[in-house]
Every structure is written in structure tokens, then in C-alpha cells.
Chain A
Amino acid sequence: MHASDTSNPDYFHKVVDCQWACPAHTNVPEYIRLIAQGRFTDAYMLNRESNVFPAVLGRTCDRPCEPACRRSRLPSPSGEETPVAICRLKRVASDHKGDISERLPKAPAVKNGKRIACIGAGPSSLTVANDLMPHGYSITILERYDKPGGLMRTNIPSFRLPEQVLADEVNSILDMGVDIRYNTPATSMKAILDEGFDAIFVGSGAPRGKDLDLPGRNESDRIHIGIDWLGGLAFGHIDKIGEKVLIIGVGNTAMDCCRSSRRLGGKDVKVMARRPRAYFKASPWELEDAEEENIEIVINHAPKRFVIENGVLTGMEFERLEWDAEAKKSTVIDTVILPCDDVILAIGQDNAFPWIEHDLGIEFDKWGMPKVDQTTFECTRPGIFFGGDAAWGPKNIIWAVEHGHQAAISIDNHCQGVSVAERLGFGINLISQKMGLSEWSYHNDYNPASRQKMKHVDLVQRFEDLHVEVELGFTAEQTAREVQRCLNCDVQTVFKAAKCIECDACIDICPLSCLTITKDGPEDEMRLRLSAPATNITQELFASDPLPHTGRLMMKDEDLCVHCGLCAERCPTAAWDMQKSQLNINYAGQASTKLELTHA
């Protein structure tokens, strides 16, 4: 094996599974430690740096970090081990933060003369504004509704995300002096170009809900498109629904639709799924929350037609399916009619750009999606950038934020005459955590506590008002327990081969059998002859340079390391050290800053 190149920032970044999985690379272990110290404001501000909307995301994030969490791969005496409640802790930071007004980014008094237009006031456009305003850019946002927030406002019901929480975080950006034009849907890209902006960012989302073209579809006004219906709810245009409601589709939008229906008068609410549970698109926790509210999730039912009697929707006919083992092929068993008053279609979203003229040099692919560069977010016409769901179809808020960060870098480059492709990669700093003999600056012991369960408002109370937030947040005791479950994966085991005397102390002490000193060989063969087999090939195998005494290699399987630091404590020569890796993420402003320096 080649010696691992730990000078490549990706090596240690990958060890921090949560940070690696987060599209915006939020520094999770660091903010959890700050919470553990009661430094909620610092924890919030650290979050805000990378994910911009900690309070919103602490409630609604799709949490790609949690399935990645190393903790969930460890064995647990109480059965299945679960990830650290990373998302819930983010909310803890926002719930308890102090006054942050002094610490928010501010726009300079003197503008740099560059004007940027952002289409849509959703998470990606707001991130672009957040990143560029402090560098003197003038941002104009065109928003079709009379309130900002985009999908965060229209698609997420207030019992999951209180309006004030959203407003606070959105305003922290708009208050920098963003020029936002409400009730201004984009109708012509040409017209926007004619206004002479230096760059345009399209963050208009995926606003068109998919329809279901089945017999009877156009014969009733009680058949709704999910995201439009949720939007109507958010703006107060909808305040009731029939007692029997069928939701078609089983993604996260379907979960929001069914739970909202329960609050508007729906008593018998069913979510209809074509495939078995293992293939649902909705996050497991959203399914649990819906089922807690007595919503029935019906599997293996494919919609066939809407049943209309005397012009009134009375039910829907489904084919009952039987699937093969991998749920790829189905056979119809029979059909069944389920009675209903309303049907809500939540089967996906599409992008729509009817307002972009086709003679502007903006190329579209055969699916009608703009051709957008994966790194620069620029389309085929220089100076126009896409991000969020508008770029490559529906993802989620945290991806939209990351798109915004990247597009902002491109816009800054574009406006300062630097190639959009010129981007700084990640950097990493390693800082020793040694405080003394057997003393570390972090809490290195493994805590066997199990995941804290979020408490909910009781069922009766929560249905009294559409706006009652269901999740209560963690108590102080729950927070204190949950923070100690974090393994501090960013406190890295850093090895210097030249110092090793091969005494085996680290190997003997490692509780998870991560370490081995052995002869070199091909990686797949070595993986099987380590202290414990390294079968998770998504995790790196660290290989040192040849050791001075015998020429063998120090090997470390990163997979299950609990970062307890005992290898470093038992090392007589400090060949092992525990060093905190701090990922340096570059945001917009490099190009403008460079320019300022050359002029100075």
C-alpha cells in the first residue's frame, strides 16, 4: 500500500463523517462541543457560517449527517446503536442563543458598484445575498409572493417551522440592505437582462407539482396538487379540508400534506403508497411523526381513477399490487375503491422555466433543464448562474444553501474579472489537543448513553391550532446527555512513523482494535489480516511510512475509532497525537479581497 497522504485535506475531512456528508460541510463536532460548554451563541454562529439557517435546519433538515454518523456503526448493548441527534442539537443552539446582532455580517457603507439579481427569495438566493452583501455587492431579489423564504415558507407547515423562526433568519440577511421586490414573479429573462445587472442568479426552485392524469382528474375541484395546497395553507388561502383525505405519494411533501390535513378537519387521513415501506422516499422520522398522529400509511396501492358521482368526488379506485422480492415488478391482485372527500397529489415536483427565452444563449437539455456546470453553477451564458432546486431538480434546503455558497464564489469571480473556474479548495489545520500527561482539551471518554428522544406536544393540544409547534426541543438534561454521545471524530489520530519504536502499546490499548503493525501488502488483502477485519470499504485504511526498526507499516482502520485518545496516551514517543482538524472552507470574497489588496 502507498503511505496515506494525510496532507490532502480530504483525508481527515472524510474521518469526520458528519461533516463530510453535510453538503455545506457544517463543523458538527465543534458546535456540539460548544453546546456542551453552554456556548450556545458561539455554536449558533459556527453553524451559520456554513449552513446560514441553523434554526430552520435544526427543525427541517434532511440530515444527511445522521445516517453517516460513526456512532451508528458501533455495537450497542441495547440493540441497534443510533446516530447522535445532530439536527436536534442544532436547534438547541438556536433555541438558547443570545443576542447575535453584533456578530451578523454587515454590508459596507461603500458599495463596490456591482449589481446582482436573484430570482426567488428561497434558501439558495438568500445564501447568495448573505455571502455577497458583506463584500459591497448590491443585491436585488425578485420574489413572486409577498413574503420571503421560498419553499421554507410555502412547503413546510408552521407546526414544524414557526413563522417567526423563519422570519428571524431570513431578516438577518435582508436587513443588510437587500433590495427585495415582492409580488414580482419573473416573467422574462430578457427583461431582467435589460436592467443591466452584472450577474443573475436563478434560485426559483422547482415550483411545479406533478399532476396525475387519470380518469376523473378534471371533474372535481377537490383534487389538489400537494405543494400548491401547502402554499395556499401558508398564505392563509386554505383553512379546511374534508373528513376523509387521501394523499397520493409517500415523500416528505406527502407527510406535510397529511399532517396538515389532520389539523384542518381531516379525521380519516390515508397516505397511499405504490411500493412497500422499504422503498418510501420520506425520511423515517417524518413517517414516525405522521403515524403518531394516527395517519394510516397504506402500501402496495396504485391509483387507477378518481370516482366522481354526480359531479362530486366520492372516492378513488386503486389497484392492489403484489411485488417481487426487490419491489421491481408488480402484479395486480384486484382493485379497491376507497371513499374520500379530498385527494392531495404529492408525487414529485418539476422545474419550469417558461419565462426564460430560448434565444439568450441559455441552453436546455432534452428534459427542459438548463445546462449548468456542476462546479461553477454557471449556465451556458456567462454571468447567469443557477442553484437550489432550479439547478438540477428537487433536493433539499441544505443543498440549496451549498449551491448558494458556490454560486456566490462564481459571481464574485465573474464580477472581478477572475475565471469562475478559479476556486480555492479546502484547507485543513491540525491543532494538538494535548494539555499535559494524559490530559486532553476535549472530553475523550466514550459515553454509552442512548439517543435522547424528542418530546412532542400531546395529540389533543397540537390539533387545536395549526401553528402549534409539535416538537418541544431538548431539555437541559437531554442536551447534556446527547452532547456526550458525540465521538469527537474531528480530534484526529495523527501518526509520525519516524518516532515509532514499535512497542505495541497503542495496539494493545485500542478498544476497537483499529490498529495493527504489519507487513506491507495489497490493500484488499491487508484489510482481512488486521487486528479486526476492515470490511467497511467506504472508510479509509491509514497506512504509515515504513517504520524505522522493522520496515513494517502502522495501519489504522478509521471505521470504528471512538477517538478516545488512548493510543496517544500510551505512546511513549508521541508518535501518535490527538489533533483537532479544522476544515477551512472558502466562501465568496476571495476575488474582491485580492483586488482590494492590489489597490492598497
Chain B
Amino acid sequence: MPSIAKPLVGHPSLAKNAIGLTIRDYEGTMSTLCAGCGHDSITAAIIKALWELSTPPHRLAKMSGIGCSSKTPTYFVSGAHGFNSAHGRMPAIATGASAANRELTYVGVSGDGDSLSIGIGHLCHAIRRNLNMLYVLENNGVYGLTKGQFSASTDVGSKSKKGEANVMSPIDPIQLALSIGATFVARSFSGDKEQLIPILKAAIAHRGFALVDVISPCVTFNDHEGSTKSYKYSRGATHAATESDFVPPATEIVGSIGPVGSTSIRMHDGSVLNFTRVPDNYDVTDRAAAVKYLREHPGQIVTGVLFADEGVPDMHEMAGSPQTALVNVPFDKLCPGSAALERLMGSFR
């Protein structure tokens, strides 16, 4: 716990975004995580992404469950809404919140324990429903809050702090998500904000559920020799499959979008995800190609936007639910009375 709150004085060159806020306006309270935690770095990336997107703080909902990762929504955008739910239940709570108010931007933060152990069922169904949210999985391969046991994402052979090697097969959240129809799948590393920030922005702009798996070293329990999720190992093992830029909707796209052979994806809100590099014979809109690529690079941390499909309807579109937040639906329409209920019940008889 730092001795003081971050002083409010800021650099005179601090720029303002489209809604007149500086990046300092997107900060939260001081982090109580260990010094050097990868999660804090991801928090900083989320702050930068939301500031650059000019998301109004009061139009943002921060969702989380339990764990070190799930504490982090407190550390960004103090002016936003938030719900810290039961362990692993964040996707369920987010589904409910989104069902009631589809107008907010939903940012969920979870960890490998919260998402891949206790909450794996909820995660899978949120993916199936294509719930419109950014789901950040802060993946450190360890149960940090309970002092360093292996998690469901620990690689085979990766060593605990005491030197014991893991023997059980890990769950790769990316391959899991691809297999159950996820519409936006990306991976990055907390130590590479240059890559992470544009990915987060594209994920927020995505129509539907965007899973961003971020390798986030645990400095206290998983940053030693023999760990496959340490800062040192992650830096050496990351392999950027794709490189991309996020171009916001209002920006005029001038000149060449990128080198020949590159792809760009027009996002649902008019922004463009512009790939400056993708491997040969790789199509970011081809689910099978993404899985194949991952299988072809074992032992490497394959990063970048790995798959994106803007053509799948999200939860509200599938359900045909009202176009606005329920709070904006007139009461007599929202609750049409006993007579209407009788008519509805009659139609089932």
C-alpha cells in the first residue's frame, strides 16, 4: 500500500480528449497490489485506452469477481459504475447488467482463477451469448491471493516458487474461446502497452464479446527462474502473430492503410482495425486458421488480435430486446399491466 495517494498535480502538457478530460480524470484510487504487479500495468493500459476513446466515465460499467485481478476496477475510472461480484460470477452479473442497460460500455476484469476454475462455466456462456463487453483475463498462471498454488493456466513443467513442476495440462483461454464461438479473441503481455492499448480499444469497439488474455506476471509468487509466466520468460517467449492499429470512427483514413497483403476490419461502430502485419496464409477472420496457428507454435506466447468476426449478432440482437436501456423505456410499456399479462398467458394455453 503506497504511503500517499498519487499527487493531483500533473504535467502541464497533459492533453484533453474529445470530452475535455485529461488522462488523470480516468484514474482510480491507489493500487494495493504488490509493487510491480502486471495487473497495475494493465490498469494503466485500460486507463489510456478509455481516455483515448473518450468514454464518458459515467457511461462505463466496471465488472469483476474475486482475486487480485478483480480488485483492479477500483484502480481505474473512479467516476464509473461498478460491480464486484461473487467468485467467478462476473459474466453472469455482467449479463444481467447489460440486459437491463445496453447503453453502457462494459469492461470486465478477471483472472485465470476467476475465469478458468470457479467461473469457467459462466465465461463459456457469456461467450456463447456474445455479450457485448470487453473481458480482460489477467493471466498470471498462479493463485497469487492464496500464496502461489498452480492455477488452471499454469503450463506443464512450469515451476512453483518452491521448485515443484506442474504436471497437469493447462487450459488455454484463447483456444477455449475459439472452440465455443468467440467473436473477438486477442492475447497480449502486460509489459507491452504499445501492443495492448490498441487491442483494448478494438475490443471495446467490437460488436459482442471480446476476450483479451493478457499475460500478467505475478512478481511475488510467479516471477522466478523456471516459471513460464515471469517477466523474463514472457519477454523472451512472446511472438507477435499479428500487428494492428485501431483507427477511431471519426478519423479520416489517409493514404495507404498498411503494407500490401494486410487486412483491415471495419468495426461495428465505424472504427477500423487495421492490420499492419499478419502471417502468410493467415486470415484473422478464419477461426480454423487461428487455432492452427496456435497449435503450430507450442511453447510460445502468441500475441496480437488472433481472430475477429464483426458479423455475429450480440446478445441483444439475438434476443430482439429493446433498443434502449430499460430505464429509458416508458413505465407503461415496461409493465403493461395485468390485462396484458392475461393476454400473454392466454396465448400459451
Tell me the A residues contacting B by CB distance below 8 Å. 74-75, 438-440, 444-446, 448, 501-505, 507-509, 511-513, 532-533, 535, 549-550, 560, 562, 564-566, 569-573
Contact = CB atoms under 8 A, between A and B. Distances in A.
5 contacts: A504-B41, A512-B11, A532-B13, A572-B35, A573-B36
Contacts of B12: 74-75, 560
A128 B344 CA distance: 104
B231 interface: yes
Contact of B235 (A507, A549, A569): A549
A511 B7 contact: yes
Nearest to B36: A572
Contacts of A503: 36-38, 41, 190-191, 217, 219, 231
B318 interface: no
A97 B234 CA distance: 59
B231 A501 contact: yes
Contacts of A444: 3-4
B174 to A, nearest CB: 23
B283 to A, nearest CB: 31
- Interface of A, secondary structure class, is loop
Interface of B: 1-4, 6-14, 34-38, 40-41, 43-44, 190-191, 193, 217, 219, 223, 231-232, 235
Contacts of B9: 74-75, 446, 448, 511-512, 562
A508 B7 CA distance: 13
A566 B4 contact: yes
Contacts, number: 103
A502 B43 CA distance: 16
B2 A570 contact: yes
Given A75-B12, A438-B2, A566-B4, A549 B231 contact: yes
A181 B100 CA distance: 95
Contacts of A532: 11, 13-14
B11 A570 contact: no
Contacts of A571: 35-36
A512 B217 CA distance: 26
A535 B191 CA distance: 27
A448 B38 CA distance: 31
What 5 pairs across the A-B complex have the smallest Cβ distances?
A572-B36, A446-B7, A508-B44, A532-B11, A445-B4
Given A444-B3, A508-B41, A570-B2, A501 B8 contact: no
Q: Which residue, of B14, B38, B223, B231, has the highest number of chain A Cβ atoms within 10 A?
A: B231
Contact of B10 (A438, A505, A512, A565): A512
A572 B219 CA distance: 7
Contacts of A439: 3
A74 B38 CA distance: 30
A565 B38 CA distance: 20
Nearest to A513: B11
A565 B5 CA distance: 11
A79 to B, nearest CB: 13
A446 B9 CA distance: 8
Contact of B7 (A445, A533, A573): A445
Given A503-B38, A549-B232, 9 more contacts: A446-B7, A509-B6, A549-B235, A564-B7, A566-B6, A569-B2, A569-B35, A570-B36, A572-B35
B223 A501 contact: yes
Given A503-B231, A566-B2, A570-B2, A448 B8 contact: yes
B219 to A, nearest CB: 4
B49 to A, nearest CB: 14
Given A446-B7, A501-B36, A503-B217, A438 B1 contact: yes
Nearest to A550: B235
